[in-house]
């Protein structure tokens, strides 16, 4: 009940704040999932790939051409995005077309972009 743990020495018992935060704390699996997802957005190459397929599907070599990247690089990064289920794919003959898995991703990107652009003012 009265969890008066001493924080910051005796003159800093912010235990009200601490226990408030503790109550709504995410569990470690959720943190892990979140950070893993952000990791995938946290690289220029992957972000460029993601942004390229925000509104359309593209095949691997489209992406290579568009972004001027090595085919191997693109495939490796797409594999990561696939594993995380951020993208889905469709095979058509020798080609594989990639698109975003769901519209959450678009929202996250555009919200984040807003943040960036606002900072520029």
Which stretches of the chain bind its own copies, using CB under 8 A? 5, 7-9, 12, 14, 17-18, 20-22, 24-26, 28, 30-35, 37-39, 41-44, 47-48, 51-52, 55-59, 61-62, 65-66, 85, 95, 102, 104-105, 107-109, 111-116, 118-119
CB of 99 to DNA, least distance (A): 13
Rounded CA-CA distance 81/92 in Å is 19
CA 64 to chain centroid: 22
CB of 106 to its own copies, least distance (A): 11
Rounded CA-CA distance 83/51 in Å is 18
Note the helical H segments in 1-121: 15-23, 28-41, 44-52, 60-67, 71-83, 103-119
Which one, 1 or 111, has the nearer CB to its own copies?
111
């Amino acid at each position: 009940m009265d969890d008066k743990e001493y924080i910051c020495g005796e003159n800093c018992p912010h235990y009200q704040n601490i226990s408030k935060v503790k109550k709504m704390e995410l569990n470690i699996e959720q943190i892990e999932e979140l950070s893993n997802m952000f990791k995938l957005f946290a690289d220029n190459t992957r972000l460029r790939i993601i942004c390229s397929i925000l509104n359309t599907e593209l095949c691997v070599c489209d992406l290579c051409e568009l972004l001027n990247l090595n085919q191997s690089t693109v495939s490796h990064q797409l594999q990561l995005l696939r594993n995380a289920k951020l993208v889905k794919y469709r095979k058509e003959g020798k080609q594989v077309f990639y698109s975003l898995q769901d519209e959450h991703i678009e929202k996250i990107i555009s919200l984040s972009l807003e943040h960036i652009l606002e900072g520029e003012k």
